[in-house]
Structure 1
Amino acid sequence: MNSLRVLLLLLAASPALAGDAPRSALEETARRESRLVVDSTTDREQVAPLLKAFQQRYPYLQVAYRDLSGADIYRRAISGTQHGDVLWSSAMDLQIKLVNEGLALRYSSPQKAALPSWASWRDEVYGTTFEPIVLAYNRQRIAERDMPDSHTALRRVLRAGNWRVASYDVESSGAGYFFFSQDSRHNPEFWDLAAVLGRSMRYQEGNSLTLLKRLQRDEADIAYNVLGPYAWSFARQHPQVGWVLPQDYTLVVSRLQLIHKAATHPAAARLWMDFVLSREGQQVLAQGSGLPPIRDDLPRRLGNIDLAREAAKLRPIQVGSGLLVYLDSAKRSLFLKRWREQLPAALQP
C-alpha cells in the first residue's frame, strides 16, 4: 500500500509523467524543424505584437510571415508546392473548401474547449477572432443621430435620399462576395436592400481600409459591410469617420486557421495554432491588434461596446460545410448576375 502511494506521488510530481511529455516532445520536434511559414490575410503590421510574443516564447523558431489575399492563399494551398505550414485567412468559405478537399491536417488543439461550439470544424480548422461587420459613415455629411442603425433603416434612408455608398466589389473580392452572400441568408429583404445599395453605389473596393479612406476623403457618405476592428481603429485616428453596429442583426466573421496537410514544419505549426488560441495569444490579439477574442473565457469588446451585451443581435457565421453553399458555381453565377442588375451602368463589369 505504501509503495502504491509513493508511486502515485511520483506520478503527480513528475512533469514528464503527469502529462507534459507530449508537449515537450512537440516542442523538441519543432526545435529540430527550426522554421515556420504562415500565410495570412492579416497585415503583418497589425499582428506584429502576436509575432513578437510568439518569438519570445519560441526563440528557436524562425517565422516567415507572408501577407496574401484569401484567394492567393487558396491557390497556393491547392498548388501543392507554394503553400505555408499555417493558412490563416478571413475568407472563411475558401478555408472550409480547403478542409473539404482534404488539405487540412487534423489536430485537436488543447485550447479547443475554450472556443464556442460554432468556431471549429472536424479538428481541422479553427476560428481565431470575433469580428462584427458594421456600417461606417462620413460624419462630415451625416450626424450621428441621423445615421441609420439597421439594415431596414438603411434601406429606407437610401430610398429616400441621394447618398453616395461604397462597399466591397462583390464580383472580384472574395470577402465582398462572402459578406453579401451571407447577408442574403440572414436578411429576408436582402434583394430590396441590394436594389437601393446598387443605385447608390459609387465605389467598389477590395478591403475595408480602402472603404474607410473613401469616407475620410469625403468621397462617400456610407460604407456598407466594413470589418468592425478596422472601423474602430480607423475612426480613432480619423474622427470624421464613424461607425455603428446594426441593431437588427450583425454578422460576425472569424479569421480561420488551419495547418496544411503537407506542412513542411507540422510541429511548429501546432505550436503556433495553440499559441494563437491560448489566453495569452488571444489577449495579445485583442490588446495589441484590436481583434476581439474568439475564446469564451475572455471579454469581447469593440471600442467602447461590450459585445456580450449585444449577444441577441450578433450572428456568428457557423464554421462548417454550410459555408460551401455559395461557392457552388451555379449559385455563384446566379447571385452575381442578380447583383450586377442592381448596379448603375458605370459600375457594370
Structure 2
Amino acid sequence: MKLIWTIGAAALFATSLAQAQTLPENYPADYPDLVTEANAEGSLLIYTNLSGDNLNPIIEAFNAAYPDIAVESIEMGPAEAFTRYQAETGTGVASADLVIANSITDWISAVNKGMLDAYVSPETANVPEWSYPEPGLYTISTDPMVTIYNKITVPEGLQLSSMEDYFAAIAESRDVFEGKVGTYDGRYAFGGAIGYAFARYHGDPAWDWFENAGPLTRPGGGAGGMIERTLSGELSSSFVVSGPVVFNRLKQEGLGEVLGWTFPSDGTPVFLRGMGITAGAPHPAAAKVFLDFVLSEDGQYAVAAGNLTPYRPGVITSDELSYSLDEVIEAIGGEDKMILIDYDPEMVETFDAFTARWGEAFNM
C-alpha cells in the first residue's frame, strides 16, 4: 500500500521543521547561518523547462519551510536556459541562480565550461551517487519512459512489454503498426540521449531492431503529441514516451479505456532531469537552501506532487497513477532492468555519428 503524502502534509511538515529550527543530523553545524544568509538575500530565480504544474508544488512546499525567500521561475527550452545564462553573464547582467533542465548534452557542456557552482549538498548522503555525477550537478527527478498503445486498434496480444518482441511485432504486423508508431526524434538532444542510452544497454541487437522497424515508424514531436495521436488512432502505439506525462494524462476519466501503457520489461529508460546552481548566482545562499530542500525527503514528495518521479530511496508516492523510482524498479524487476540516461561524455563525443546512424535506420 502506498503511503499517502499530500502537498499540504509536506508543507505542514516543512513548516514544523522550520519553526522548530531542527535539521537532519548530517547537516553541518553552521547550516543555520546559511539559512540566515538566504533569508537576507530574500529571492531566487530559476531558469527551467518545467511547467508551473511541475514546479509550483515544489515552490509551495519550499516556501512553507522558508517563507522569506521568494522564488521566481521562467519557463523556456532546456538549451535556451543555458544559452540565456551565458549571454546575460557575458554582458554583466544578473541572471539565473539555478537551472533545472533535461538536456544531457547541455549539462555536460555546462560542467566543462565551469558554469556550475561546485556546491556539495549535505543531502548527498541520502541520494544515489549517480544522481550527482559531477561537482555541482544534481538530479531533481528520474522520469521513466514507457510504451503506450491504442487499446482499440492494437489487439491485446500485440500490446507487448518486451522491446525485443515489440520491434519484431512492428515488422511482422504491418497491418496494425506500419506508419502508425511514434517516438521521439533521435536526431535531437532529448530523443538522441534516450536512443544512445538504449543502444548502449542493448548493444548490436538494438541497431537490428532500429533498422528493421525504424522505417515503419513516424518519429517526432513531444510526449503530449504522441499521446493525443495514439488516443485518436492516428498512431497505434508510441515507444519511449515520458511516463509522468502519460500517468498525468491517464488521470482524466475514461482515457484508460483507450490508452494502455507498459514499462519496457527488458530495459526501461530513466531520464535524469538535471539541476545545478550557477557559478554566477546573484543569490547563492538561497539557491543552496532550495537545492538542499529539493533533495530532502519532503522536497522529493513535493517533486511527486508536481507529477515528476522522485528518486530518493524510501519515497513512495500517494497516487496509483504516480511512481517513485523505488516503485519503478520494483515494477520492472530490479535495478539491472533500469537504463539510466546519464551524463556519458562519450555520448557527446560521438553524438553526431550516433544521430546520423539513427537517422539512416529510421529513414530520416
TM interval, short-chain normalised: 0.7 to 0.9
The corresponding residue for 1:98 is 110
CA contact (8 A) 2:269 2:341 kept: no
Give me the whole-angstrom Cα distance separating, in 2, the residues matched to 1:144 and 1:312. Answer: 28
Alignment of 1:307 with 2:328, yes or no, is yes
Alpha-carbon spacing, 1:122–1:174, altered in 2? closer, same or farther (3 Å): closer
Match 2:261 to one of 243, 258, 273: 243
Query: What are the equivalent positions in structure 2 for 1:1-349 lying under 5 Å apart?
Result: 22-81=30-89, 83-162=95-174, 163=177, 164-171=180-187, 173-188=188-203, 189-205=205-221, 207-237=222-252, 238-239=255-256, 240-286=258-304, 288-299=305-316, 303=321, 306-309=327-330, 310-317=333-340, 319-320=342-343, 323-328=344-349, 331-344=350-363, 348=364
Alpha-carbon spacing, 1:149–1:290, altered in 2? closer, same or farther (3 Å): same
- Report the Cα offset of residue 203 of structure 1: 4.4
CA contact (8 A) 2:230 2:238 kept: yes
Percent identity, aligned pairs only, is: 23
CA contact (8 A) 2:127 2:313 kept: yes
CA contact (8 A) 2:96 2:281 kept: yes
Taking structure 2 as the reference length, the TM-score comes to 0.82
CA contact (8 A) 1:250 1:313 kept: no
Question: Structure 1: where are the runs of 5+ without partners?
Answer: 1-13
Question: Structure 2: where are the runs of 5+ without partners?
Answer: 1-20
Give me the whole-angstrom Cα distance separating, in 2, the residues matched to 1:230 and 1:126. Answer: 22
Taking structure 1 as the reference length, the TM-score comes to 0.85
CA contact (8 A) 2:132 2:139 kept: yes
Between Structure 1 and Structure 2, whose CA radius of gyration is higher? 1
Give me the whole-angstrom Cα distance separating, in 1, the residues matched to 2:22 and 2:246. Answer: 46
The corresponding residue for 2:6 is none
Give me the whole-angstrom Cα distance separating, in 1, the residues matched to 2:28 and 2:273. Answer: 29
- Report the Cα offset of residue 302 of structure 1: 7.4
Deviations 1:125-152 (A, max 9, x none): 1122232211111122124443121110
Alpha-carbon spacing, 1:302–1:85, altered in 2? closer, same or farther (3 Å): farther
- Report the Cα offset of residue 316 of structure 1: 4.7
The letter for the 2-side match of 1:200 is: L
- Report the Cα offset of residue 319 of structure 1: 4.7
Q: Secondary structure of the equivalent of 1:168?
A: coil
Q: Secondary structure of the equivalent of 1:202?
A: coil
CA contact (8 A) 1:109 1:123 kept: no
The letter for the 2-side match of 1:201 is: T
CA contact (8 A) 1:199 1:342 kept: yes
Q: Runs of 4+ in structure 1 displaced over 4 angstroms?
A: 18-21
